[in-house]
Structure 1
């Protein structure tokens, strides 16, 4: 599927997508007549189409943006997504999208909203189906002002590359565990790195032992598919010593180990590597767009299974950082893999700021559902920087507390730490456990258990399955301040 900028004529496309404001501003005379003579009023989320008598243009799809003063990126994104789905339903192969004028969103922001909404809404994962979707329309944004054309074209290329990164993450999350396991995930990272322009190094089990990654290796002991540490590097700023470190949880399958999950809870555990998928997708977007930023991503990839050599409740294990841990629940495994990856990215890759992403706790889903990501942070400036990036993408985050008394819940009796505590605050306790290993670095923890994938669509462009959240926010964090914030 391609999106391009082109001033289309009715002879060139099969259908047109036209936006409408509820208050009538910027609406054409044709649109005003439709509003007067039909139930369509241009309200947010409304959609209406007409069949044209013209031999070439078969349809005009009108989609409401609501009141002009309330327009923002999320409204535009959802409107475009809804129109794209209608175009698919009508089997329109060449689509023209009429660019519209507004002072609420800059030209680049409009290009961004149109492109993200359409492409993410039309995503589907049908690789293993006999009958696959063949719908891949040509899409043209028409009517961009001449004086803004160069900027809009550059912006479109950037957003297309970013959406490609989101789609890569979605694809990896949606793959079954017999297709994506530690070694094959490493191969995917290598392939994407070669395609997009970042370096990949893979450490096997022996090399991880040499690094004394005892916690990570303990989790992966039960599987015949051996662990892999995947390191991705993109050094886009030779003038800076700052390195943004991304750590993604890479449990390619999680049975719970000896703390075995119920069978219905194991369905979907191929997606327990959502954090890994997100950091791969983010690295792809950053490298493809050649950002002036140094970014390193690390994935400790393994499977958590039951066998005669699997780790057990009651075990005391070590870690790369030297701290010892009482394993009270083998299903609290993600945090054990993450701590060695965090130690590695700080001590071996020189990360000056660290973000970890993990489908870590069911408690995050209970607290925040499938729309909001739980966030923990130890640095106010880093938090503010991250939230400015989130403001560009409309991805939603909620900060959890890191009060000192929560630390008591992770202190062990027989070892330095324990990996679970029965006294509630499960999401916070898991984050506090990770916090013990970030040393003095600015750190953000994102628990994406609820937002990494969804059993049903939660808006018009986040479809069922892997979501790719929050690739877009991480990208804009790496990019730094830009002119496409909402007004």
Structure 2
């Protein structure tokens, strides 16, 4: 696939894709009088007015070549949202191939460029009978110079990297291979990477993290990424991604139907990796340290058990109520580390943490807990720019009673009620006074069926929200 910006064009394309706002449907000037008449009749017959979610296409013989004219309805210019633009172009472009001219007509170039990348994405690397993919060459018509193609390409490639990481099977992406992948990305895009092996993790007394990793053949890795884009500032932002590269549930074993897709339980790690790549490639003026406690939750004779009492880097003791509530145990050590050893001024953790968030918010919306209103407000604004939905959940003190233990400081579950809230608040126990947000992406990081501009598998949601969050800080 090739994408370039053009200010004028003389060649005849296989397809012409034109966005139209409601009430502003004009005929492409490059057509002959007879061709315009055909298109006008089609617009009249289909009653196409540019209404959001509508489109028409018309095949014509134009200067001796069969071409496809596609009009995309975007609705009201004032009410247009990012995800609506990307979805509209995605749907129009997905089945097209050859040389394609894409009009812009007042739409942000970066959003169109993103849609071009998503339209041709397919995770098919393991198929031996791949369909022949026809070459696509996109010329995006612009009237002035813009850097939108750069930002759009970087964001799309970062999102698709996240999708790829989520889609890879657990025999390909495991703690060591994930660490190697991050090291390669750091060298490629200009951020520092440091990897702690099991000895260093033990030295740091990350007992909760190591308890989860105990039974796995693939040994844990603690991955640190550092991007210092503002050397004149001493302030550092913290990002933490849940890195369970496979989750059996441990001795609280998942049923087979619930285990088959657990390669995606490192969606939080994939998301923060994608965000770091976008931020460093676009050279955003900010400082960020990102950490991932990468491990597998497996079964074995040495596995941690329901009823065990374990320690944590933060010093609190935890009664293990359920070994399938493992993500929060890895996150508390990662969060405590980044606050106390990397000296971040605020921290955001991103995790496929609970099934309860799907019950509450479905697959379209990321659940958020926060101890700081300004942080959440900034995240909400960033999510609107990105076209990704977030919703704040309460963290009232009464919920703490649900995960109190009679024999330790805390339990790692809070029972069946308010599951997403108590899981997030369990992590909050280890942040102290540091401004903090928890993003539960269990519903949004992957999908079983295509929707919008997402294909089956990883979605890459929240990468663009995090990018915009740090861009505006």
Normalising by the smaller structure, the TM-score range is over 0.9
2:110 touches 2:150 (CA, 8 Å); kept in 1?
A: no
Number of the residue aligned with 1:211: 204
Cα displacement (A) at 1:23: 1.7
CA distance in 2, matches of 1:202, 1:179: 19
Number of the residue aligned with 1:485: none
Secondary structure of 1:169's aligned partner: helix
**2:385 matches 1:392:** yes
1:339 touches 1:437 (CA, 8 Å); kept in 2?
A: yes
With normalisation by structure 1, the TM-score equals: 0.92
Equivalent position to 1:127, from 98, 119, 125: 125
Cα displacement (A) at 1:319: 0.6
CA distance in 1, matches of 2:45, 2:362: 41
Number of the residue aligned with 1:436: 429
Number of the residue aligned with 2:409: 416
Cα displacement (A) at 1:35: 1.3
1:23 touches 1:68 (CA, 8 Å); kept in 2?
A: no
Secondary structure of 2:296's aligned partner: strand
Number of the residue aligned with 1:44: 52
1:10 touches 1:56 (CA, 8 Å); kept in 2?
A: no
CA distance in 2, matches of 1:355, 1:123: 29
Cα displacement (A) at 1:99: 1.8
Secondary structure of 1:424's aligned partner: coil
1:313 touches 1:330 (CA, 8 Å); kept in 2?
A: yes
The alignment covers a number of residue pairs equal to: 463
Q: Which runs of 5+ in 1 are unaligned?
A: 482-487
Deviations 1:195-241 (A, max 9, x none): 11111111111110011010000000111100000001101101111
Cα displacement (A) at 1:399: 0.4
Deviations 1:380-414 (A, max 9, x none): 11111111111211100010001010111122211
Deviations 1:230-278 (A, max 9, x none): 0011011011111111100000000000000000000110000000000
Number of the residue aligned with 2:466: 474
Number of the residue aligned with 1:138: 137
1:420 touches 1:429 (CA, 8 Å); kept in 2?
A: yes
Cα displacement (A) at 1:444: 0.7
CA distance in 2, matches of 1:235, 1:32: 55
Number of the residue aligned with 2:75: 66
Deviations 1:115-134 (A, max 9, x none): 22232232110010013353
1:218 touches 1:311 (CA, 8 Å); kept in 2?
A: yes
CA distance in 1, matches of 2:43, 2:357: 44
Number of the residue aligned with 1:242: 235
Cα displacement (A) at 1:434: 0.4
Deviations 1:168-217 (A, max 9, x none): 10000000001100000101111111111111111111110011010000
* Residues 36-115 of structure 1: pairs in structure 2 closer than 5 A: 36-54=44-62, 55-56=64-65, 58-87=67-96, 92-101=97-106, 110-115=108-113
1:120 touches 1:163 (CA, 8 Å); kept in 2?
A: yes
* Residues 248-267 of structure 1: pairs in structure 2 closer than 5 A: 248-267=241-260
Cα displacement (A) at 1:82: 1.0
Cα displacement (A) at 1:58: 2.3
| 1:135 to 1:407, Cα distance in 2 relative to 1, 3 A | farther
2:309 touches 2:320 (CA, 8 Å); kept in 1?
A: yes
* Residues 178-327 of structure 1: pairs in structure 2 closer than 5 A: 178-327=171-320
Cα displacement (A) at 1:32: 4.5
Secondary structure of 1:80's aligned partner: helix
| 1:57 to 1:247, Cα distance in 2 relative to 1, 3 A | farther
Secondary structure of 2:169's aligned partner: coil
CA distance in 1, matches of 2:297, 2:49: 54
Secondary structure of 1:70's aligned partner: coil
Compare 444-453 and 20-29 and name the one that shifted more: 20-29
Deviations 1:321-345 (A, max 9, x none): 1111000100000000000000111
1:365 touches 1:449 (CA, 8 Å); kept in 2?
A: yes
2:236 touches 2:345 (CA, 8 Å); kept in 1?
A: yes
Number of the residue aligned with 1:484: none
CA distance in 2, matches of 1:226, 1:97: 49
Number of the residue aligned with 1:452: 445
